[in-house]
Amino acid sequence: MRPGARSIVLAAVAIAATALVTAPQAAADTKAIGLYLGEHQNLGGAKWYFDKTETSVGRAEDKASSVWNDSGYAWVIFEHKNHRGRAYCLYPNKRVHDLHVQWLSFGDKISSVRRLADAGCAGYPPI
């Protein structure tokens, strides 16, 4: 190995080691906190993430079978676009593994979402 090549390899190893040590901290600092919709039960299949109120959930419309509120705010899921139709509130850190359960019957029906100002449901029925 050429003398200069050894220095380059050592520098590359040092940079890679630094990245491995700092990467988990960087990931923790940038963790997304919001509302997740899952295509299938238990957040299986495709997942869609929202960090703000949306009048339309776009490609996720009428496709979600599970939901997780991974935030400190309450979220409301709506049956139709523009926050219309049936609505249910999810308290912070609430997960619903199956929106198709008979008493709820909300699977494949979410079309818009609203993040509320705090952890309370503001009159919306909680799940």
Cα angle value 59/46/56 (rounded, 5°): 25
Tell me the per-residue pLDDT of 74-101, one tens digit each, with 9 for 90 and over.
Answer: 999 999 999 999 999 999 999 999 999 9
- Res 80: pLDDT: 98
The answer, yes or no, to whether residue 8 has pLDDT greater than 70, is no
Which tokens belong to 20?
A: 């491995």
80 burial via Cβ count (<10 Å: 0-12, 13-18, 19+): middle
- Residues in contact with 87: Cβ distance below 8 Å, sequence separation at least 6, in sequence order: 76, 77, 78, 79, 124, 125
Tell me the per-residue pLDDT of 15-65, one tens digit each, with 9 for 90 and over.
Answer: 444 443 333 333 344 455 899 999 999 999 999 999 999 999 999 999 999
The answer, yes or no, to whether residue 105 has pLDDT greater than 50, is yes
Distance CA 33, CA 52 (A): 10
